Amino acid sequence: MQKVIISFIGGRPLPNIQFILHHNFDYLYLISSADSAGPNGNKQKLLKALPASKRVTDTYDVPPYNIKATIEVCEKIIALNPNSSFIIQIASEPTTMSIAAYQFVEKQLQNKVAISLLYSSRDGVVNIFDEQAMLQKIKINLRNYFKVYGWDVTCKNEENAKHLQVAQLLVENIEVAHTMHTARQFRK
């Protein structure tokens, strides 16, 4: 059975990036709020930050406050992928899009479709329809985090001895630095 992820995006792309990088899938669809789909919008930031191995199958833009339009796009994606399992990921999109996702998944579960609704927060991911759901922590590496914000970070190779000296200096002086910082606050 093929695995399909439908990721909703409207606000910050970081929760979507974390989720997508963490999961394996056969197809990835993005449903974005139309107001985040512009040239410098969050949808573009997400697309630029994804590695080639996490290719997007298709994207759809919906009016941010139109529940019916959001449900219709979800129905279209389900119809395009018969005999698949589905994960709908919600994170930072407008609340009405989340409501549409909830209504859609609830109906699909009644129709015995293999589907989950996962909510991504800063603290992790939780399955909305699983009563025993535990928060699942998801982390990404620093390079991917910077990429989400449009920064191309390269690392320099430095001698480990220099790093160890700096780390040792910091560790030895943490209490002194903390005391000095606190003393400056009280002088103000």
- What is the token pair recorded at 159? 């001698």
Q: Is the pLDDT of residue 115 over 80?
A: yes
Q: What is the pLDDT of residue 38?
A: 85
Query: What pLDDT digit, counting tens, does each position of 29-81 carry?
Result: 999 999 998 888 899 988 988 888 898 999 999 999 999 999 999 999 999 99
- Average pLDDT over every residue of 130-137: 74
- Average pLDDT over every residue of 93-121: 95
Query: What pLDDT digit, counting tens, does each position of 3-34 carry?
Result: 999 999 998 888 898 899 889 999 999 999 99
Q: What is the pLDDT of residue 22?
A: 86
Predicted TM-score (pTM) of the model is 0.75
- Pairing label, strands 2-9, 84-90: parallel
HSE value, Cβ hemisphere, 13 Å, CA-based, for 104: 27
Q: Mean pLDDT in the chain?
A: 84
Q: How far, in Å, CA of 70 to CA of 181, rounded?
A: 52
Do 90 and 118 contact (CB within 8 A), yes or no? yes
Q: What is the pLDDT of residue 147?
A: 64
Coil, strand or helix at 3 = strand
Query: What domains are there in the chain, each with its CATH number?
Result: 2-148 (3.40.50.10770), 156-188 (no CATH)
Q: How far, in Å, CA of 71 to CA of 101, rounded?
A: 7
